[in-house]
Amino acid sequence: MVGIVSYGAYAPFYRLKREEIAKAWGGSSIGGEKAIANFDEDSITMAVAAAMDCLKGAKRHEIDGLYLATTTSPYREKQAAAVVAGALDLPRGVLTGDFTGSLRSATIALRAAVDAVKAGSARSILVVASECRLGTPGSDFEQLFGDGAAAFVIGGSGVIAEIEGEHTHFDEIIDLWRTADDDFVKSWEDRFVLDEGYSLNMQEAVSSIMKKQNLGPSDLAKAVFYTPDARRHIEMAKKLGLDPKTQVQDPMFAQLGNTGTAFAPMMLAAALSEAEPGNRILLANYGDGCDAYLLRITEAINGFSGPRSIKGHLESKGTLPSYGQYVRYRQLMPVETGRRRPAPVSSAVALWRDRQMLLSLKGAKCNSCGRLFFPPQRVCVYCRAKDNYEMVGLSDMKGELYTFNKDQLAFTLDPPLVLSVVNLEGGCRFYSQMTDRDPEKIQIGMTVEPTFRKMHEAEGYHNYFWKCRPLR
Amino acid sequence: MKIDAIRDKVAIIGMGCTKFGEHWDMSVDDMVIEASYEAMQDSGVELKDIEAAWVGTAVSGGSGMLLSTPLKTRNLPITRVENGCGTGMEALRNAAFGVACGLYDLVLVVGVEKLKDSGLSGLPEFMTSLYAQGYTAPGRWALGATRYFQAYEVPPEEGKKLLAKIAVKNHHNGSLSPKAHFRKEISLEQAINAPVVAWPLGLFDCCPTTDGAAAAVICATEIAKRFRDDYILIKGFGVAMSAGLGKEDIDYHYNELPETEAAANQAYAMAGITNPRQEIDLAAVHDCFTIAELMEYEAIGFSPKGRARDDIEAGTFTLEGDLPVNTDGGLKSFGHPIGATGLRMCYEAYTQLQGKAGPRQVKDPKLAYCMAQFGHPGYLGPFATILGRRD
C-alpha cells in the first residue's frame, strides 16, 4: 500500500485584510483576509516550516527524497530543494528535486513520489509545496493570492491515506503565465481562462478518474480541488455533482487566499485533519492540464498525531496594519534605509563552511562535560575541552526568552528589530532575532521556537539562518 | 605577574586633546598634529626628543605611519594599536611598558578617530557571521538594561528615569567642558521622553558619533621633574578580555559585567587600592550608553550589586557628590571618537589632578580611575587605568 504517511502545513503569521488593498487602490474588496509571508519569508523558508510540521508525524530516517514544488523559487538557477533539505538536516544521500513552472507542480511531484515508492527506489519521499505569488498591484489577483505551504510524506508503511488511483493529462493553453522577466502573474481574458481552461480540464480529469475507479459522486467523503476563486469553487462542485455544503473542502478564501501550487495541498492537509477511516477523498489540481488522485483513509489515521492542523495555523495570526506594510514586506517599492550602516556583507565560503550551524541549526554537545552550546566551537564554552564534541540539532527545541530589546536603529523591513537572548530547553543559549512578534507583547520568560528565515540578500544571493518566534 | 612593575614608574608630563565633535573640516592628519603638538607643548618636550611612539585607532587608518606621515618623523619606532573602544588606553598601556622596562625615556602616545567621513549615523558595520548580523551597539546594551531592570525589580519607567539622571549629569558636566562635543544641558523630561533608539534606551541614553584625537607625552618617573613639578603618575592598569559568553553560556547573566569587575580589580591591586569607593576621588567610566555607566558603578565597586540606584538618587556621582564620575561629560557629552576615548579620559583625569579643570574642578583630587571598554554585556573588553598625583 502506497500513500500519505504524514502531512503538515504552514500559513505565515501575518494577514492582510482585503479591504486594505481596496482602500489603497479604490474599487471593492472581495472580503476576508489573506495570508502574507513575513518580510523574511519566501517559498524556501515556508517549505521548511511546512516540512518541519510534517516530519513530526513521520520517521525522518526513512526519507529518501525531497521534492519541492513551487512556481516562486527565490532562485532561477540553483536548487531550492537543497536549501530546504539542508535546513531540515536530511542525510546527504537524499534525492532532492525542484518541481516548478506549473500550478500543477505539487501534484506532479506527488506522482513522482508515489511512483518512486511503488518502484521500490525510495522508502519514503517528502513532498513539499510552497508558494508566494504576486498579483500586480491593484489587480484582482492581488486580492486573491495568499502565501503558504503544505508537506506530505509519501511512503509504503504507516499509510494514513492510501492512493487508490491517479489521473493526469496535460493541456497546452496560455491562461496564466509569467515569463522569465515577469514578477507578477499575467492572465488571458478570464472567460477563456476559466471556461476553456479550468472548467473543462477539471471536469475531464475528475470524470476520468471516477470512471476508472468505478465511483460516483456519492462515494466521496470530501473533494479537494483547486479553484481560482471562491465563486468558481462552488460552480465546479455543482458541475461535479457534489454537495458544496457537505462534500467539498473549504478553500479558505476568507482566511488564506489562493496559494498557487500549494493551494490544493493545503486544502488536502485540512481535509486529512478531519478525515475518518474509510473516507474516500478526491484531490484534483489544475495548471497546464489536470491531475487527479483518489485517496482512501486507513485505520492508521486514528493513531496519527504530531503536526498542527491548518486550523491551528490560521488561528495563530497577526494583522498587518496597512497595505503600505505589505508593500514594504514584498519590496514593491524602494524603501528608505536611512544613513546608517551600509548593506550587509556575506561570504559564500563562510556560509558553506558553517552550513551545519547556519543552515541546519546545529549546536555542539561537549563529550567531556555533556553541556550544549551554540554556535558550535572547537573549545567547550563550559569546560574548555578541546575538539571533543558532537553536533546536535536545535531546530526542534523550544526556548524561554531571557532578555530582549526593540532596536529602532538596526535596519530591518519590519522595525523594531527585536534581538533576543533565548535559553533553549536543551540547556543551550540561542542568540537570535525575533520575528512574527507583536512588539507590545514581548516579555521575559515567554516561550519561543526557532524558525528558518531569510536574513538578507547580500552579494546578490539569499542568506538564510534561523530566528526565533513566539510559540505558535 | 610582578604587581609593582608599573606603579609610579611612569609619569605623564604633557597631554593634549582636540575639541571633540563633527570635524567636517579636519582630517585624521589634522587631528593627530593638533593633539600631538598640544601634548608636546604642555610637556615642554620637542618632537626631536621623542624616542618612540604608540598610536591607537580603531578604524581610521593602519600602521605606525598614521603618526610618522603627518608628523614627518624620520625612522621613529612607532606601533599602531587597536583594541576596540579601549584603543587609546591600550596605546598608553603599551607605551608605558616601553618606558617601565627602561628602553625609552620619552614616548609620545596618540589616539585618534575620524568617524564622520563615513556618511553614516552610527558606527560602520564589521563583517560578521549571519549568526550575529544586524545588531547595533545600543541594541546590545538594551539587552543588559532589560535584564537589569528584571533582575533587580526596577519597573521600566523607573529604570528609564535612573538612566535619564545619568544623561542629565553628563550633559551638565559637558556644558562645563570647552572641548566637549555637546555643551548643552538637558532636562530629565527631555531625556525620558526622547525618541526610542533601542528600547528601553532613548536618544539621550546614547553617546554620539564623534571625531577627535588625544595625546600624551610620558617618561620615566625619575626624569619627570626635568619637565614639570605637577607630573601625574600611572598607578595601575587592568585589562580583561571576555570570551564572548553572553551569547553562548546559559549561566551568563546580563545584569552584571564580570569582565569589567576583573579589569578594575587588576588595576586596584596594582595601585594598592583596597576600598575604591573611599580611596578614589574621581572617575571616568565608559558611558557609551547610560546603562553602561550604571552597570559599571556596580562592577568597579562604587555601588553594591543592584543598588546603583541609591547612589544615583543621592547624587553621589555628580560634580558635587562624594565620587564625581565623568566630570568632563563622558562619552555621552564629550563624545566618543573610538581610538581617542581612552586617552581623553586620562586627559580629564590629568587636568583634574593638576587642579586645572576650571568650573568643573573636583576638590583636591589625588587618585583618578579611568575606564574605557569595548563591547556590551556578554562580550566585553574593559581597560582600566589609575592615575595619581605625586606625593
Angle between helix B290-299 and B137-151 (nearest 10): 50
Give the gap in angstroms from C-alpha A333 to the nearest C-alpha of chain B: 22
| Residues of chain B contacting residue A374, judged by C-beta atoms under 8 Å apart | 248
Cα separations in angstroms, B261 against B265, B369, B384: 6, 13, 10
Nearest C-alpha in B relative to A415: B198
Is A403 close to B121, i.e. CB distance below 8 A? no
Beta-bridge partners for A292: A167, A284
Report the residue from B132, B247, B250 with minimal CB separation from A427.
Answer: B250
Secondary structure percentages of chain B, helix, strand, coil, to 5: 40, 20, 40
Contact B350, B342 (CB under 8 A): no
User: What pLDDT does residue A265 have?
Assistant: 98
| Residues of chain B contacting residue A373, judged by C-beta atoms under 8 Å apart | 248-249
The structure's pTM equals 0.94
Is the preceding omega at residue B200 within 30 degrees of 0, hence cis? Answer: yes
Is pLDDT at A338 greater than 80 in this prediction?
A: no
Q: Which residue in the block uniquely carries the three cell numbers 537572548?
A: A421
Report the residue from A358, A408, A417 with minimal CB separation from B134.
Answer: A417
Is pLDDT at B133 greater than 80 in this prediction?
A: no
User: What pLDDT does residue A412 have?
Assistant: 87
B138 lies within 8 A of chain A by CB: yes
Contact A392, A364 (CB under 8 A): yes
Is A405 close to B146, i.e. CB distance below 8 A? yes
- Mean predicted lDDT score pLDDT of chain B: 96
B199 lies within 8 A of chain A by CB: yes
| Residues of chain B contacting residue A463, judged by C-beta atoms under 8 Å apart | 130
Three-state secondary structure readout of chain A: CCEEEEEEEECCCEEEEHHHHHHHHCCCCCCCEEEECCCCCCHHHHHHHHHHHHHCCCCHHHEEEEEEECCCCCCCCCCHHHHHHHHCCCCCCCEEEEECCCCCHHHHHHHHHHHHHHHCCCCEEEEEEEECCCCCCCCHHHHHECCEEEEEEEECCCCCEEEEEEEEEECCCCCEECCCCCCCCEECCHHHHHHHHHHHHHHHHHHHHHHHCCCCHHHCCEEEECCCCHHHHHHHHHHCCCCCCCCECCCCCCCCCECHHHHHHHHHHHHHCCCCCCCEEEEEEECCEEEEEEEEECHHHHHCCCCCCHHHHHHCCEECCCHHHHHHHCCCCCCCCCCCCCCCCCCHHHHHHCHHHHCCCEEEEECCCCCEECCCCCECCCCCCECCEEEEECCCCCEEEEEECEECCCCCCCCCEEEEEEEECCCEEEEEEECCCCHHHCCCCCEEEEEEEEEECHHHCCEEEEEEEECC
Q: Which residue has the higher pLDDT, B135 or A103?
A: A103
Is pLDDT at B176 greater than 60 in this prediction?
A: yes
Over range B303-330, report the average pLDDT. Answer: 98
User: What pLDDT does residue B1 have?
Assistant: 87
Nearest C-alpha in B relative to A465: B130
Give the gap in angstroms from C-alpha A232 to the nearest C-alpha of chain B: 45
Residues constituting chain A: 472
Is A407 close to B138, i.e. CB distance below 8 A? yes
**Would you say the C-alpha torsion B279, B284, B290, B295 has a positive or negative sign?**
negative
Report the residue from B146, B249, B250 with minimal CB separation from A404.
Answer: B146
- Mean predicted lDDT score pLDDT of chain A: 95
B146 lies within 8 A of chain A by CB: yes
pLDDT digits (tens, 9 = 90+) for B287-316: 999 999 999 999 999 999 999 999 999 999
Percentage of residues of chain A with pLDDT beyond 90: 91
User: What pLDDT does residue B85 have?
Assistant: 96
Give the gap in angstroms from C-alpha A203 to the nearest C-alpha of chain B: 50
Report the residue from B130, B144, B198 with minimal CB separation from A409.
Answer: B198
Cα–Cα dist B112/B124, whole Å: 16
Catalytic residues of B: 85, 336
Q: By three-state DSSP, how is residue B378 classified?
A: coil
Is B120 close to A342, i.e. CB distance below 8 A? yes
B184 lies within 8 A of chain A by CB: no
Model confidence at B132, pLDDT cuts 50, 70, 90, reads: confident
B155 lies within 8 A of chain A by CB: no
Q: Which three cell numbers stand for residue A105?
A: 507542480
Interface test with B, best of A379, A400, A407 (most B CBs within 10 A): A407
User: What pLDDT does residue B300 have?
Assistant: 98
Give the gap in angstroms from C-alpha B144 to the nearest C-alpha of chain A: 8
pLDDT digits (tens, 9 = 90+) for B2-49: 999 999 999 999 999 999 999 999 999 999 999 999 999 999 999 999
Contact A4, A224 (CB under 8 A): no
Nearest C-alpha in A relative to B195: A408
Contact B127, A459 (CB under 8 A): no
Percentage of residues of chain B with pLDDT beyond 90: 94
pLDDT digits (tens, 9 = 90+) for A15-53: 999 999 999 999 999 999 999 999 999 999 999 999 999
Is A456 close to B131, i.e. CB distance below 8 A? no
The radius of gyration computed from the CA coordinates of chain A, to the nearest angstrom, equals 22
Q: Which residues, at least 6 apart from B38, have a Cβ–Cβ distance to it below 8 Å?
A: B15, B16, B17, B18, B215
Angle at A250 between CA A247 and CA A253, to 5 degrees: 155
B321 lies within 8 A of chain A by CB: no
* Of B213, B212, B215, the residue nearest B47 (C-alpha): B215
Long-range contacts of A304-309 (CB under 8 A, 24+ apart): A304/A6, A304/A57, A304/A160, A305/A57, A306/A6, A306/A56, A306/A57, A307/A6, A307/A7, A307/A8, A307/A9, A307/A53, A307/A54, A307/A56, A307/A57, A307/A269, A308/A8, A308/A9, A308/A53, A308/A472, A309/A9, A309/A269, A309/A270, A309/A273
Cα–Cα dist B197/B379, whole Å: 21
| Residues of chain B contacting residue A354, judged by C-beta atoms under 8 Å apart | 129, 131
Report the residue from A341, A345, A375 with minimal CB separation from B131.
Answer: A375
Is pLDDT at B257 greater than 80 in this prediction?
A: yes
Cα–Cα dist B6/B386, whole Å: 11
Q: Please name the helix (run of DSSP H) or strand (run of DSSP E) that holds residue B166, with its range, or none.
A: helix B156-175
Is A409 close to B139, i.e. CB distance below 8 A? yes
Contact B285, B300 (CB under 8 A): yes
Is pLDDT at A340 greater than 80 in this prediction?
A: no
User: What pLDDT does residue B180 have?
Assistant: 98
Chain centre distance of CA B252:
25
B375 lies within 8 A of chain A by CB: no
User: What pLDDT does residue A424 have?
Assistant: 98
pLDDT digits (tens, 9 = 90+) for A122-159: 999 999 999 999 999 999 999 999 999 999 999 999 99
User: What pLDDT does residue B316 have?
Assistant: 98
The radius of gyration computed from the CA coordinates of chain B, to the nearest angstrom, equals 19
Cα separations in angstroms, A116 against A6, A62, A113, A399: 17, 14, 5, 38
Interface test with A, best of B146, B245, B288, B295 (most A CBs within 10 A): B146
Give the gap in angstroms from C-alpha A341 to the nearest C-alpha of chain B: 6
Nearest C-alpha in B relative to A339: B120
* Of A191, A229, A164, the residue nearest A4 (C-alpha): A164
Q: Exposed, middle or buried by CB within 10 Å (0-12, 13-18, 19+), for A119?
A: exposed
B127 lies within 8 A of chain A by CB: yes
Interface test with A, best of B116, B250, B379 (most A CBs within 10 A): B250
Is A339 close to B121, i.e. CB distance below 8 A? yes
Cα–Cα dist A233/A254, whole Å: 13
Nearest C-alpha in A relative to B242: A381
Q: Which three cell numbers stand for residue B310?
A: 541609591
Report the residue from B150, B201, B249 with minimal CB separation from A444.
Answer: B150
Chain A, chain B: beta-carbon pairs less than 8 Å apart: 132
Q: Which three cell numbers stand for residue B54?
A: 604608540
Give the gap in angstroms from C-alpha B189 to the nearest C-alpha of chain A: 21
Task: List, edge to edge, every strand of the sheet that includes A3-10.
Answer: A95-99, A63-69, A124-131, A148-155, A3-10, A161-170, A289-297, A280-286, A222-225
The answer for B 217-246 residues in CB contact with A (under 8 A) is: 243, 245-246
